[in-house]
Every structure is written in C-alpha cells, then in structure tokens.
C-alpha cells in the first residue's frame, strides 16, 4: 500500500477521530475543471502492528457517485486490516442526522464515546446523514470481507468499513471497490440510501422484481398471495448434549405434531374459511428437526412415515393449499449415514469447522461446493417425488454471510461459497417453484424468494448497543417487491398471545407486533405455535387480504412523521400510517386510532 510513514498505535485513537472530522469539515479541493474532488482516508494496519494513513482522491464514477478502488496487487499478504473512511462519514455529538448500518439500525449523534461493530452485513452498505449532506457507501469488491464500524471518540462519530484482509487467508480474489453515492434533496435520507442500493441491484440484473418472476411460475404467485404456516413435527431432546450420537445413545424423537395432526390443522383452517395458505412441514425428516442432516430419508416413522406424509401432501393439494418442507444444508452430524468428513468445511489450520451441539449432536459446517455437488440433486429428486411444491425452505442459508472452506481438495472463498449457495437456490426454484430461507443476508438475493425474518434484534441476533436509537426498514426499502419477508423474529405468530408455543425473544408487545408487521410490509407467518386455536390465523388471513397486493410494490419511503407515528409509502402511491402513540392521529383526511394502522389507497390520496 505504499511507503507512507507509520503511526504509533498509541497515537491512533485521538488522531483518527481528529483526522476523520477534519476530512468531513474541510472544504473540498477542486479538480482541474473546477469540480469538487471527494477524498477518502485509507488506513492500513499491517500484521506487525504498523499503521499508515493516506488521503486518496476518489474517481468520479457517475454523477454524484465517487469510487475508491484498491487493486488486488496492492492488497498484500502483510496487511491485517484496511479501513476506508469517506470524507462525509463523520459527525459531531449534537448535530442533526444519523448513521445507518445494513442490519437496519439507526443511531443519532448523542454520545461522547462508544463503538458498534457488525461483521454480519445483510447488505454491503452503510450510510450517514449530517448537516453537510448524506451518502450511502456500497461495497462492490470484497463485499464479504469487511465489518462495519461505528466509532465515537470525544463526541466525534465515524462510520467506516474495516476489511479483514488477514482473515481472508486466501489471496484477494477481486479488487477492493466502494462506491460512495452523494444523496441530495428527497434522496438525502435512509430511504434514499436503500433506494440507491436497490437501483444498483436491479440495474446489474442481480435481482428481478417479484411481479416479473411470478410470470409463468404459479407456485411463486401462490406464495406471494398467501400467508406462511409452519408446523414443527418433533425433535430429539438432547438434554445430555451428546456430541456424537449412535444407535445406542441417540435420544428418541419427541413428537409434537404427527402427519395426521398436520392434516387436522389444514382441514381446520379450511373449515374456518382460510381458502389459500402455504404450509411448511418442519422436521419431517429422519430424526426430526435437526436430527440427522445431511440424511433426509426415510421420512421419520414417529410422525407417521412416508405413506402418511404423502397423504398429508395430497390432503393439502385437495384443499387448494400449497405445501413445502424445511431442510437445512449447514448442519452435518456424525450420526448421519451420509456423513463424510471429507465434505465438511475446514478451517485455515485444517480443523473441522464446527459449531453448536444441537438435536443431532455436534453440528459441522459443510463445504458448499460439496453440498451442491454431492447431496442436493438426490435430495431434490426424493422431495419432488413426495409431491412438495412451493417456496422450498432451506434453514440458515440466508441468515449467515458465506463462510470459506480451506480444504485444499475443495477450497472455497466466501464469494465461491455464495455462488454455490445460489446454485442450490436455482435448483430449488426449478424443482419446487421457489426458494425461501431464514434471514435477509443478500448473498443469495439473486435466488431468494422469501425470508422468514429480516431482523431479530436485540435478543436473538445482535446485542443492545447504546448507540442505536431504533430499527428502520432499510432492507425492506431495498427488497420489498422483490423478496417476500416477515420483518421480525417476534412478528411470527403476530396476533397470538406470546405465551403460546415457544417464546421468541421480543421487545414488542402483541399490539405492536401487529403494527410492525404492516409498517414493514410483512407477509404473515406462523410457526412457534401449538395450533390448538386456529381462529387467529383466520383473523390474520382476513386482515392481510386488503394488504397483500402491496407485496408486488417497491417500498419507496419510510419515516417518522410525528412522535411515534410512521409513514410507509409504496411505488403505487399507497401509504400505510402506523400510530404507536397513545392518541388518535389525523393524516390526509383520515384518522388513525391510537395503537393502530391504516392503509390509505392512492385514489384517496388524490383527493388531497
């Protein structure tokens, strides 16, 4: 990265904050044509601890888009991290504005010190709005190799990406590229940040609008028109945390819902007047939920076996329902008769890449090159033979960012892992009609049709941080009208009392869950539920009916328009006003009662 003089580590903290603010406040230099030149500060930390900093002019890529590019040849093996700070990426305590991280968190400038670091970036973007302007940074090269950092030192806020070069282990596979979009007027807000990213994704053909994808795809069209109801059949209760299960020590499968019970639930929904719904059979496989992956077959006999599952699938189709199943590609267990250590992802030291002890024992992350090449085709042949059709649900894949495999016989960097995950998503679409997964991470946006939840902050994914003010629908503004979603882990079963079934961690009440679902444009989803009372699902079905057409529209704008009152605007002009306050609110001739929301249709808006 050059021969700039090194800084001593003890000087970096205060110098970094001062230099960042100086960049943000400085008058921009002029280019030869009189046009302002944007700069970014590049901070390189070597493995030996030496730190260098250099201000670099940015290339003007297009109008109001400024590019920083570090070629592969300059990303050398002796580098630990590279920090990139844009000239407009700093603010002082007390200034108007906010920072935005791609997890959907927003923070205003009110603290003297603090730090937020996010390695799991659902989208490769970050942004800031200050009195001097607004911008969004879109990481286009090495987008899986950075963490987002918000640093507050002596009241100076700085947001920047830190590229973890040493952690890559592999040689860089592409140039480091960031485009900084300077946003003006109606775009100078978090809605504009997300719209800029959406335009980038659409413009390069990475994603296609939902209304285009449903053409010729009746399964996806059905998914877009319906709610999602997941039924978990059962699990091995691994109380002793047995890591390596065998036929002699494997816990028995505890049955929650048999396939007969699944049929009773579906018939009960139909009797209540739920005409269309997409069902999902969860844990149907050998060993139950997380039981013996990558083994799927035979169908778990404790729930009724293959013949009864086929009967349940036929029952769904007879009722006019769509039915899919839940699988998982990220947990391999040694109890599986298909387990092969060769296919497990390896860490850089050659050890197996393992994670928690779950129902099936110690779970190992597989190499996705091997998942695609060895397992998927046989799996999908067996699942299609059972009769599943719809948005095939693969657990975890979109809830994590892609991880590498360092096995020299099947190496995968993070980009290659993402490519294999998308190949699996494409196969799911071709076989079943769609691909759904657990979360919002957009390395699979190209093939993803549904996200089970976009965020679970603050108690499931992420931890509370005093720098954060609130959650915003940043992901939804980027992807609504492209990928179906449910907004929160805790908005699953949104209109059920939370004491029913499992208890997802939540900062929302039953009332605010309902408002949040529609404020963030969600698809009603049910799962953590014994389904002893089906009436709330019918109520949700009726409530969703006048809202579901919005799934085909882009979410174009969101903001707090009064204290505890939020407006969501769609590309067809529809607006949803969500009133979390304790009193009624008037908006454009309509009254929105306290703790309620209202859809204002475009033809009504035209009267004002």
**What would the CATH number be for the domain defined by 210-452?**
3.20.20.80
Q: In what order do the strands lie in the sheet with 565-570?
A: 555-562, 565-570, 575-579, 596-600
Are 311 and 262 within 8 A, CB to CB?
no
Structure tokens at 84: 């990139």
The helix (run of H) or strand (run of E) holding residue 278 is strand 278-282
d(CA 264, CA 268): 6
Q: In terms of Cα–Cα distance, which of 328, 379, 337 is closest to 356?
A: 328
- In the predicted structure, residue 28 carries a pLDDT above the cut 50: no
Residue-range domain boundaries for the chain: 37-204, 210-452
CA dist list (Å): 39 to 57, 66, 124, 192, 197:
4, 9, 20, 22, 21
Q: In terms of Cα–Cα distance, which of 313, 311, 320 is closest to 218?
A: 320
Q: In what order do the strands lie in the sheet with 278-282?
A: 484-485, 450-451, 433-437, 390-395, 322-328, 278-282, 228-232, 525-526
**127-138 pLDDT, tens digit each:** 999 999 999 999
Are 148 and 161 within 8 A, CB to CB?
yes
What residues does 68 pair with on adjacent strands?
178
The pLDDT of 272-282, averaged and rounded, is 98
Torsion-angle region of 305 (φ positive above 0: left; ψ -120 to 50: alpha; else: beta): left
d(CA 265, CA 278): 13
**Half-sphere CA count of 205, side-chain side, radius 13 A:** 0
CA dist list (Å): 581 to 106, 170, 384, 539, 595:
20, 52, 49, 24, 6
Which three-class secondary structure state does DSSP give residue 164? strand
- In the predicted structure, residue 62 carries a pLDDT above the cut 50: yes
Task: Say what the pTM is.
Answer: 0.94
- Classify domain 37-204 at the CATH class level: mainly beta
**481-524 pLDDT, tens digit each:** 999 999 999 899 999 986 444 455 556 788 899 999 999 999 99
Are 65 and 180 within 8 A, CB to CB?
yes
- In the predicted structure, residue 605 carries a pLDDT above the cut 90: no
What residues does 70 pair with on adjacent strands?
176
**447-487 pLDDT, tens digit each:** 999 999 999 876 656 678 999 999 999 999 999 999 999 99
Q: Given pLDDT bands bounded at 50, 70 and 90, which one contains residue 603? A: confident
């Amino acid at each position: 990265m050059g021969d700039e003089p090194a800084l001593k580590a003890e000087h970096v903290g205060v110098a970094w904050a001062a230099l960042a603010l100086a960049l943000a406040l400085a008058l921009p230099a002029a280019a030869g044509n009189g046009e302002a030149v944007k700069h970014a500060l590049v901070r390189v930390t070597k493995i030996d601890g030496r730190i260098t900093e250099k201000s670099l002019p940015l290339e003007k890529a297009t109008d109001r888009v400024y590019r920083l590019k570090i070629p592969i040849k300059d990303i050398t093996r002796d580098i630990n991290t590279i920090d990139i700070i844009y000239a407009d990426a700093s603010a002082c305590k007390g200034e108007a504005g906010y920072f935005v991280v791609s997890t959907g968190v927003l923070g205003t400038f009110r603290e003297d010190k603090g730090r937020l670091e996010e390695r799991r970036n659902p989208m490769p973007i970050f942004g800031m709005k200050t009195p001097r302007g607004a911008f969004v940074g879109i990481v286009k090269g090495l987008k899986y190799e950075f963490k987002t950092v918000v640093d507050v030192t002596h009241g100076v806020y700085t947001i920047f990406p830190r590229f973890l070069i040493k952690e890559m282990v592999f040689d860089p596979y592409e140039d480091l590229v960031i485009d900084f979009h300077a946003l003006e007027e109606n775009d100078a807000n978090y809605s504009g940040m997300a719209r800029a990213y959406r335009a980038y994704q659409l413009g390069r053909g990475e994603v296609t609008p939902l209304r285009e994808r449903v053409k010729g795809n009746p399964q996806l069209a059905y998914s877009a028109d319906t709610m999602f109801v997941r039924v978990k059949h059962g699990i091995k209760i691994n109380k002793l945390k047995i890591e390596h299960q065998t036929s002699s020590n494997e816990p028995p499968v505890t049955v929650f819902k048999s396939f007969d019970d699944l049929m009773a639930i579906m018939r009960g929904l139909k009797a209540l007047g739920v005409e269309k719904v997409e069902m999902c059979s969860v844990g149907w496989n050998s060993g139950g939920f997380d039981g013996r992956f990558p083994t799927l077959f035979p169908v778990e006999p404790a729930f009724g076996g293959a013949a009864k599952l086929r009967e349940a699938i036929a029952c769904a189709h007879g009722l006019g329902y769509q039915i899919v199943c839940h699988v998982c590609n990220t947990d391999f267990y040694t109890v599986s008769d298909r387990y092969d250590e060769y296919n497990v992802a390896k860490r850089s030291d050659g050890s197996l890449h393992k994670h928690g002890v779950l129902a099936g024992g110690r779970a190992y992350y597989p190499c996705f090159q091997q998942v695609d090449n060895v397992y998927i085709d046989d799996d999908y042949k067996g699942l299609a033979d059972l009769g599943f059709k719809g948005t095939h649900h693969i657990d975890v894949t979109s809830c994590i960012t892609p991880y590498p495999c360092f096995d020299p016989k099947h190496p995968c960097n993070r980009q290659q892992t993402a490519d294999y995950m998308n190949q699996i998503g494409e196969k799911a679409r071709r076989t079943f009609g769609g691909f759904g997964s657990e979360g919002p991470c957009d390395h699979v946006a190209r093939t993803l049709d549904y996200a089970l939840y976009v965020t679970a902050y603050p108690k499931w994914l992420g931890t509370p941080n005093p720098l954060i003010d609130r959650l915003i629908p940043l992901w939804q503004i980027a992807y609504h009208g492209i990928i179906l979603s449910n907004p929160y882990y805790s908005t699953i079963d949104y209109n059920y009392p939370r004491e029913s079934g499992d208890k997802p961690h939540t900062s929302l009440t039953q009332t605010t869950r309902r408002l949040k679902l529609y404020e963030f444009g969600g698809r009603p989803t049910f799962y953590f539920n014994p389904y002893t009372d089906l009436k709330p699902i019918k109520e949700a079905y009726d409530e969703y009916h006048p809202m579901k057409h919005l799934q085909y529209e882009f979410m174009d704008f969101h903001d707090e328009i009064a204290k505890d009152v939020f407006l969501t605007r769609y590309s067809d002009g529809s607006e949803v006003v969500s009133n979390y306050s304790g009193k009624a609110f008037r908006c454009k001739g309509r009254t929105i009662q306290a703790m309620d929301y209202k859809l204002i249709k475009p033809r009504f808006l035209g009267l004002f």
